[in-house]
């Protein structure tokens, strides 16, 4: 994607720090197709921590009923860290609360039972997928089945919604087309172009599967963007609206250090939770 391929980059060379492959790490709501969080970064554990932290903040810590991903090993410890409660260190619990938890034998890291987490395992022969199986890592299979039964868009564990979004991103963003000369040369412009497409996708792009039928004969539809389906706006935005909408930086935003995967591992270690290798 950049002037240098990963194998040509020297980690010790500061000039190569922003060269090589950068990936879109996306969390999407399958019901509304809304891209909730996106972080452009290296395909590593620290970037996964950033995107889940961003999603947790944007959703105010609400508990998703089901999380599905591929089998990248770092997802599990990051999800445990994001939603798990280390009650010994929680500022809202008193000494009496902690004593009660100890007497009840509560595990050191409490993970909400409302959340289920499943991965998609793909068997490949050559370049073709020949078998797809699901694996439930958190929660129960019955819990996953119940959540899927209540879904209006899918009845299987899959990652197809994110994969379809990536295809749409490549369609709109020439920098991401395969085997093309339009690849990005500078990271800042690559990130800016990526976010422009994300905002347009959320607010300006009417997704066919989100349309609502308003008349049977002849058939007529009310087309919606992901933002409209999520209740964030009542109309499809034009590019002029998007580019001219005033944005004001927050006054005295809270400052906090960027969490890393090592921070996640340290927290899980304090809770006696063994994380899989990344």
pTM of the model: 0.88
**What are the tens digits of pLDDT across the range 90-105?**
888 888 888 888 888 8
Residue range 121-137: average pLDDT?
Answer: 87
Decide if pLDDT at 18 tops 80: no
Q: How confident is the model at residue 106 (pLDDT cuts 50, 70, 90)?
A: confident
Asked if the structure places residue 100 within a domain, the reply is yes
Asked if the structure places residue 208 within a domain, the reply is no
Asked if the structure places residue 93 within a domain, the reply is yes
**What are the tens digits of pLDDT across the range 175-211?**
887 777 778 888 889 999 999 999 999 999 999 999 9
Quick one: pLDDT at residue 2?
Answer: 47
Q: How confident is the model at residue 1 (pLDDT cuts 50, 70, 90)?
A: very low
Asked if the structure places residue 44 within a domain, the reply is yes
Share of the chain above pLDDT 70, in %: 92
Burial of 176 (0-12, 13-18, 19+ CB in 10 A): buried
Decide if pLDDT at 274 tops 80: no
Decide if pLDDT at 269 tops 50: yes
Chain centroid offset of residue 21 CA: 19
Beta strands at 116-125 and 66-69: parallel, antiparallel or unpaired: parallel
Please count the structural domains in the chain.
Answer: 1
**Rounded distance between C-alpha atoms, residue 105 and residue 78, angstroms:** 24
Quick one: pLDDT at residue 150?
Answer: 92
Domain span including residue 30 = 6-173+258-270
Q: How confident is the model at residue 49 (pLDDT cuts 50, 70, 90)?
A: very high
Residue 222's contacts (CB-CB under 8 Å, 6 or more residues apart) are 211, 212, 213, 214
Instruction: Show the 3-state SS of the chain.
Output: CCCCCHHHCCCCCHHHCCCCCCEEEEEEECCCCEEEEEEEECCCHHHHHHHHHHHHHHCCCCCCCEEEECCCCCHHHHHHHHHCEEHHHCCCCCHHHHHHHHHCCCCCEECCCCCEEEEEEEEEECCEEEEEEEEEEECCHHHHHHHHHCCCCCCCCCCHHHHHHHHHHHHHCHHHCCCCCCCCCCHHHHHHHHHHHHHHHHHCCCCHHHCEEEECCCCEEECCCHHHHCCCCCCCCCHHHHHHCCCCCCCCCCCCCCCCHHHHHHHHHHCCCCCCCC
Residue range 32-54: average pLDDT?
Answer: 95
**What are the tens digits of pLDDT across the range 130-162?**
888 899 999 999 999 999 999 989 999 999 999
Residue range 255-274: average pLDDT?
Answer: 88
| Residue with more model confidence, 143 or 257 | 143
Asked if the structure places residue 69 within a domain, the reply is yes
Asked if the structure places residue 85 within a domain, the reply is yes
Q: How confident is the model at residue 78 (pLDDT cuts 50, 70, 90)?
A: very high
Quick one: pLDDT at residue 79?
Answer: 97
Asked if the structure places residue 59 within a domain, the reply is yes
Decide if pLDDT at 5 tops 70: no
Asked if the structure places residue 40 within a domain, the reply is yes
Decide if pLDDT at 47 tops 70: yes
Share of the chain above pLDDT 90, in %: 59
């Amino acid at each position: 994607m950049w002037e240098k391929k990963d194998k040509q980059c020297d980690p010790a060379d500061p000039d190569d720090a922003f060269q090589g492959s950068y990936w879109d790490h996306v969390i999407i709501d399958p019901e509304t197709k809304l891209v909730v969080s996106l972080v452009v970064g290296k395909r590593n554990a620290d970037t996964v921590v950033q995107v889940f932290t961003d999603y947790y903040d944007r959703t105010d810590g609400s508990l998703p009923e089901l999380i599905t991903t591929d089998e990248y090993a770092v997802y599990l410890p990051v999800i445990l860290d994001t939603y798990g409660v280390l009650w010994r260190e929680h500022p809202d619990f008193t000494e009496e609360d902690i004593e009660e938890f100890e007497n009840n034998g509560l595990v050191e890291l409490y993970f909400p039972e409302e959340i289920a987490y499943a991965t998609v395992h793909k068997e490949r022969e050559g370049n073709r997928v020949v078998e797809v199986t699901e694996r439930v890592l958190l929660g129960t299979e019955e819990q996953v089945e119940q959540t899927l039964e209540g879904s209006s868009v899918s009845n299987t564990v899959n990652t197809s919604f994110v994969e379809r979004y990536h295809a749409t991103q490549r369609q709109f963003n020439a920098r991401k087309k395969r085997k093309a000369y339009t690849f990005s040369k500078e990271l800042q412009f690559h990130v800016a172009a990526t976010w422009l497409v994300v905002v347009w996708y959320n607010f300006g792009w009417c997704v066919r599967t989100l349309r609502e039928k308003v008349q049977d004969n002849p058939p007529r539809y009310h087309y919606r963007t992901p933002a409209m389906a999520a209740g964030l706006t009542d109309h499809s935005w034009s590019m002029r609206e998007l580019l001219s909408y005033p944005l004001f930086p927050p006054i005295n935003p809270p400052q906090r250090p960027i969490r890393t995967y090592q921070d996640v591992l340290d927290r899980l270690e304090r809770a006696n939770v063994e994380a899989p290798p990344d």
